[in-house]
Structure 1
Amino acid sequence: MTVVICIGTTLVATPLLGHLDLANIVMLFLLAVLVIAVKLGRNAAVLASILSVLLFDVFFVAPRFSLAVSDIQYLVTFAVMLVTGLTTAHFTSVLRQKALEAEQREQRTEGLYQLARQLAGTLTTEQVVEIAKGFVKEQLAAECAILVPDDLRKNLARTSPACSLPIESHLAKVALESGKLVRSDEMSGMGYAPLYLPLHASMRIRGVLAVRFADNSTEPSSDTISLLEALASLLAVALERLHYVEIAQATEVKMLTERLRSSILSALSHDLRTPLTAMVGLADSLFLIKPALPSAALETAQALHEQSARLAGMVGNLLDMARLNAGEVTLRREWQPLEEVVGAGIKLLGNALADHPVKVELPADLPLLEFDAVLVERVLCNLLENAAKYAPPHTSIELSAQRTGNTVAVMVKDRGIGFPEHRGDELFNMFVRGQAESGKPGVGLGLAICKAIVEAHGGHIHAENRPDGGACVTFTLPVGNPPVVEEEPA
């Protein structure tokens, strides 16, 4: 094409030789060089500059049709013509290259904008992966894969099992831990992805983007790396948004479930409490009949009373749990000694502790605590009753307290079989029992009620097994700023 244009320029200028000065004919050739530089690029423009000088010398400078030059001044013309043509070719090609780069940047910017719009509407991680693959393939003619860490952030897994891109797991893990781009040209020759970019989000690194180019021998430019970093940033934001959306949805479902469960428990408890109270009262009235009933009937009345009382206690637990979850319980805090509540709780249990001696160890310098006596007494009763229920007969139950910093820790220990391993926190959920198939009566609400009451007081409760056998439940109450109690004169 360059040769054709130069020859065409010569054919156009030849009839004008007698009418135009040679300087004007030179302008025609420079115009041809400029057109070639704009349309065909630098190399073609350099060739056009050399051809234009030769054609001008052969066809327009005397003696014509030879490379001989009769006037030495034409050598200057040739030199200026060649330099002008080469300079024009250079600057024109540079401008053309800049225009192409600007157009490419505009296309990539538009692509990133469209990518951000698409990622904003994604609902699943699979959609994010598909959008990222399409963008990388369209903009860079490359393949990509997104790797996300597990809960412990020790291993990386593909978000799409159908992805066949070979991944070097060690390099991906280095990128995840260091938070920097990792590149290995050696891996590209083996078919693996050579680039691994961490997905930086606002809270933490959400994963790694692995990229492999179609032409492994081509080194990615700085613009390509910048584009991939922008892509990684958008993907990280999208993945973090989906993560928090899942958490919000799970939390909302859990809240609705707990609210529904509390409503059902509250309704059932209110409806069952009245007939159960009536049954307990009727069972007690059988002992007051004159003349007295036969011994067999009294034993039946006693069993009826015990079972009705146990069922009434379960219903009371259900109602208390519903109230605690709904936040309807108002704490009546008062400054008082812990030993009074401990004594009241032990006396209230009565026959439940008949086969288990209770050893109480409370320091003499234990400070006054601000708590709701009725609720804390309920906590102690539940813990002591559980200990008596699961400990072997005639084994002791230990209740002790000690001050640790700004809290007072109260411990209830027994010599039973202990708690199942790795279920310490789970035991404080509603309807969870240490032994699901246990023959002991109960519905798994005692520890849940204890947790709700203790946390309402600003404390903490946990369960553990004793090294020498048995279980230990510890709950804490804040010390606060107790009032100063002056000693009475002797």
Structure 2
Amino acid sequence: MREAGPFELTVTAGEAEPSPMPRAPRPARSHEPLHFVVAVAAVLASTGLCWILGDVLAMADQVMVYLLGVLLVASRLPRVPSVLAAVLSVAALDFFFVPPFFTFAVADLRHGLSFVVMLSVGLIVSTYTVRLREQALAAQQRERRTAALYAMSRQMVIETGVGAIASTALQHVRETVAVECFILLAGRSGQLAPCGGEGTWVVKDERELAAARWTHENGRLSGMGTDTLPGTACLYIPMVGTGGHLGVFGLELRKRGRELSSFDWQTVETFVAQTALALERALLVERTANAQVQMEAEKARSELLSAVTHDVRTPLTGILGAADTLLEHGATLDEATRLRLLRGIHDDAEHLTRLVGDLLDLTRIESGALRVQKSPCPIDEVVDSALDRCAPRLAGREVVRELPAEVLVVPLDAVLFEQVLLNLLENACKYSPEGAPILVRGRAADGALVLEVCDRGRGIPDGELERIFERFYRAEDGERTGGTGLGLTICRAIARAHGGTIRARQRDGGGTCMEVRVPLVAKERGA
């Protein structure tokens, strides 16, 4: 140890069994010197009044004047100064107004009995007056504490986040007890971390952090005013919920400059217990939500794996089969057969490319990476561009284009909105007979652009009009028509990113209409 560097030894008190409820440090009761000065001054004032009115006041009247002074002192000051005023009043009456004057000798025994009665009455009056005042003060304090606790509880019911609840508790403790405070919550690894925006300095101070950890691990008080690590600047109170230790509540007593009174300690203890229950509830809600999110993510992952496995396996099987045929029998196959196999490979590869593209778009949407870059766009140009790109799929069909004569200029991300139209046009081709007409109609209504893509297919049952926008959901003949089941999900996400909506409805005379609405005036998402 002589050769070792500087080190610090900390000794903590241990108990065979931890106390179930921590006890507050016992503050030392003290009386201010001013209280005794006021008590003496009241006696002097009573003596002066009796001296001035000595010719008109009898001894009984003088006793009443002194008792009045004692009563006034007892109504404002603690018990000890009040008792002092009663004793000094008897002594002053004997010294100044009972013969022989200016001595404490008593010539008449009746006067001695009067002094005993006066002293007894003074002590009783002062005692009961002080007790009554203390009870009234305690009642007022309890009323304030109850009101503050009710206000905190009501606000905690409104708040749902852990940080917001911690901030609410700290604010009410500061206002009620007049002490700076902070909360350290234990994470999953057991490490204490500040919560509620206060106490960041504690985790940087090894001594303070050691006291906080000791309190959290042992469930007992530590720090300033206790027998465990009393050299710290704070008092640490364990926060215990129904499920175990949550963390610690710290009070910066050194900065306050005085210890807590018994009433203040009861207030803090009540607030800490209420805060622990509220934080435990919020943590439980948070963990339940996280578990729900994990379950949903696992479910989505399973659905994605199932859908992707099916959609990838089918074209890959076709590609592999056609490639094997070309490799093994390519030299003996006629030109038409080779072209048919190559076309099949091309179509299957195109399907895989579309699947990968949809998956990437879905990933961008769900991760929040989808950013809409709006600019004023003539809607007829966006529609014409989508029709041109989809021309090979629309070959052999009549496409009816109904747009207003006056050009509608709409704040859009032209690339994303064109993708919506492409997906809707491809769906119209998939789910309607060969050669059936397709209607593309646009108009302005109620401050929004309403764009419709209608077909003459089999239509969608009423119970599936909302489900078709779910991921990987397909209509009854979806297997026959192909597709990834992600197109309409992507369309809905893009429409919402523009502050709009998309819905499906039955078309009069048979078929389906897909209706997209976006505002004609630019607005922030979520506004």
**TM-score normalized by structure 1?**
0.49
**TM-score normalized by structure 2?**
0.46
